Structure 1
């Protein structure tokens, strides 16, 4: 699993002379001004080209033909060849650039890449201990791409920084997209095939991944890596930037295209193709990675002074059959994988629904502002599963939650996997349901206050709000809680309108005899009408119930 202070390095290298580019063109070092002059004279570009940055700091290699299809063809040919693992340029020195040293290395504002007419300025990351493999940075215009030449002069670094000892052609680690005022970033790519956005509330939290290979399997997880980024101005209304990435790893290659815009929520239209070098047992597509330590659901005693700590508090699924599902997250004592079978899902995502500052009391990293991320499939995804992997953690610095789609179709050598979807980083789900949503899940001692508590019985209280229940009168009759359990005894099932606000509460007791997980399912209905989401929960009795 990835640590939050650095994604594990995948294995691949930047494109130096890929087959999709014209090998006859020499890799001469050109300034932007001399390139544009020569290219215009040859008819390769209009006479007046876009500004990409400071001429004295930014230079490019010669132009090469570029398109999504050309890059996909190149990735396909890569998959037919043996994998060659890259090597760090200077591992001994890079290992000295820890988090603190890396933070002190600043990209110079005047070297900012102006790819999208200043609407989405791009700055670059330096290599360091956690990001030792360089990536290729390419700017695309007029069907041509030019690779940015690395120059240490684009960075301000302390005189005693270990980075001063690195070779002058060491390369870049990744990139980030700044706001128009260039004061803060809202999109970042750094490490393996991970990327993050600050979303609608401008606070970074969970991460996305192009794909996840063999998560929670007996074999080690494989981390595909973005080896090259191709940046160009978007022509789609409401979008600013297109980022196309080349992917490589021991068992898969691919191309991953994002048409990105930020207008409140951050929206990405994603088109991808993956090419299998070998058989892969579990390929997680449209993968999301987050952190869940504890919440009000089952809070451990005195583990931290803050009431809750999590980037996401639940997995939401909109099934192909139009059912809405909410699964609160757990922090188990052992790795647990839950699968939700479906066909052509309408959407899924890891969400942060609890937006009350008082429930976190964190004025440093602001968990109440962490983005929710929603995946909206395009086209026919067929049969498969949304899988949720929950990994034990004892601190907030580790990402321990992964969610992704797994197709029922096995992945074998030579297979091509096309996938398109929309990804939205926002405060709430982009397509709210008519049914009411789960807003809180709480667990405590079973029984009745003031009476002897039955041994081994726990009480659940689940609150639903918005949608249908918010419109019900407090005296509405006929509302029923439907609760089922995979094992154990259910009792005291009830539901009622909460006197403060518009929510309805469902309560019930559960007695489970041993420590094996109990899968619970519940919703509210009135007659034949389903009023709420389906609440799914995996209750972990015994040692698992306390994080």
Structure 2
């Protein structure tokens, strides 16, 4: 491996802005070495030993004990660490020569992010060696400070910790160490599949997101890193989670590939009741697409890191919910029982759909959460936040268990994360939603209908894509079609609308393609929140994904 890529946090992009929001209540979060985690909040912190016994069970017991203690806060850093601002932070890089594990016989390398600015609290890193853990120390010698900043930084000074870390790996070619993933800011982290560029992020936990309680941002305070002893393509990351309402111990087994997988086990211990617990939370950005592009004067056809929420049920149904940049805060809840998977996807992979030579939105990874074990009943929640900047993360999705978390509870969740393109294989029976478009309702060439909007859904592929046009029903006159309009051997759209009415509907196959286009005109009262559902059925079965959408008729 002859070269690598390791640099400062990407401060000019959306990811940093979301981190800023996440760490805003920084003084709420405490940090203590592993040996002190279970001590009383007021106890004097001992010096961390050179090496200490370690296992996931030991870590879990210590976090369980910590949950019985008051939440400890920590003062802001002093000296030059407390003086760093945005401009200073851009001048700091981790030195390539300081990357860890060069002599460990592992294909991974580890670099650190500097403390300060948005990251005032120290995060401590430990290396796991067998059944022991030894702290990894960092100093100002490990970082490059450019321009006038170099004159303000003390030489050879040991840092109290770092802001987080990143892992490099020869993901795309054997002679180059690409950045594979990073952990920085609260409990945020992200990974890449082969050929991916950074986009959406994940978090360790969401607590009271968009609720009356006010959101908490628990943070990963200590990391324990264990590369495979035999030099294989796997690294295990353990982490401690600390927040006002919850503590936790996490184990993440990371395997880089064309689709990088991360097997997560989260053991959670609750200090307080939690109004809404978000397990396996995902965070992304949706600015605009074909269905809302008219609101944005931009040469690019689409701007988003993710374009839809996908939920796959054990019974065979697959739900596709296109994302939106709403006029006001929006929340959607999807009742589920032990789903096969859910996640945020970037389904459109064509450069021509974005024409952005800097952001390369077509390369942003999709991310699926695959529950391991029985998660029982719960809800997948989607939160959509209005934004007028593509630099802002405005999409959140996560699992809400049926039973609320109470003070004194202990919970464990296991799941597998899939980071990558997650392309459809072309062999699926169900046609998928290829595109969603929207505009003024009514007939082209005539004045638009007041209070009406047209939704156009293209279903592509599957068995439906192989069917000829003439298998459809006679002209649709009733909505939804009555049972006596045709036999099961004919295909028909099944459309439902809550809090609105269907004003017109057509279903046609696009000539020379495997795409069927469903167009639905919907009317609703001013400010009505309209929930729409559509799929195509025939031969006694669903032939497409179930398309879901929320339209708020805001004037």
Normalised by the length of structure 1, the TM-score is: 0.87
Secondary structure of the residue aligned to 1:327 is strand
- Structure 1 309/233 Cα, relative in aligned 2: closer, same or farther at 3 Å? same
Corresponding residue for residue 15 of structure 1: 33
What is the distance in 1 between the residues matched to 2:231 and 2:512? 43
- Structure 1 160/168 Cα, relative in aligned 2: closer, same or farther at 3 Å? farther
Aligned match of 1:255 in 242, 245, 249? 249
- Structure 1 396/452 Cα, relative in aligned 2: closer, same or farther at 3 Å? closer
Corresponding residue for residue 43 of structure 2: none
Corresponding residue for residue 106 of structure 2: 118
CA contact 2:431–2:460 (8 Å) conserved in 1: yes
Q: Within 5 Å, give how 1:283-302 maps onto structure 2.
A: 283-302=277-296
Deviations along 1:122-179, whole A, 9 cap, x unmatched?
1111113111111010001111110012211111112521794466433211100112
CA contact 2:81–2:115 (8 Å) conserved in 1: no
Corresponding residue for residue 108 of structure 1: 95
Corresponding residue for residue 217 of structure 2: 223
What is the distance in 1 between the residues matched to 2:79 and 2:517? 57
What is the distance in 2 between the residues matched to 1:88 and 1:191? 15
CA contact 1:252–1:274 (8 Å) conserved in 2: yes
Mean alpha-carbon deviation: is it higher for 343-352 or for 105-114? 105-114
Q: Within 5 Å, give how 1:206-245 maps onto structure 2.
A: 206-234=200-228, 239-245=233-239
Superposed displacement of residue 475, structure 1: 4.3
What is the distance in 1 between the residues matched to 2:152 and 2:331? 45
Q: Within 5 Å, give how 1:131-530 maps onto structure 2.
A: 131-158=119-146, 160-161=148-149, 164-165=152-153, 168-180=158-170, 181=175, 183-234=177-228, 239-428=233-422, 434-477=429-472, 478-530=490-542
CA contact 2:533–2:549 (8 Å) conserved in 1: yes
What is the distance in 2 between the residues matched to 1:237 and 1:466? 42
Superposed displacement of residue 183, structure 1: 4.4
Mind listing any 5+ residue stretches in structure 1 that lack a counterpart?
29-60
Deviations along 1:327-377, whole A, 9 cap, x unmatched?
111112221111111111111001111112122111111111111000000
Secondary structure of the residue aligned to 1:192 is coil
CA contact 1:374–1:430 (8 Å) conserved in 2: no
Deviations along 1:221-250, whole A, 9 cap, x unmatched?
100100011000247998511001111011
- Structure 1 534/163 Cα, relative in aligned 2: closer, same or farther at 3 Å? farther
Task: Count residues with an aligned counterpart.
Answer: 506
What is the distance in 1 between the residues matched to 2:56 and 2:123? 18
What is the distance in 2 between the residues matched to 1:152 and 1:182? 26
Superposed displacement of residue 261, structure 1: 1.1
Deviations along 1:313-335, whole A, 9 cap, x unmatched?
11111124432101111112221
Mind listing any 5+ residue stretches in structure 2 that lack a counterpart?
1-14, 40-45, 473-489
What is the distance in 2 between the residues matched to 1:76 and 1:279? 15
Normalised by the length of structure 2, the TM-score is: 0.86
CA contact 1:20–1:71 (8 Å) conserved in 2: no
What is the distance in 1 between the residues matched to 2:393 and 2:431? 29
What is the distance in 1 between the residues matched to 2:396 and 2:235? 27
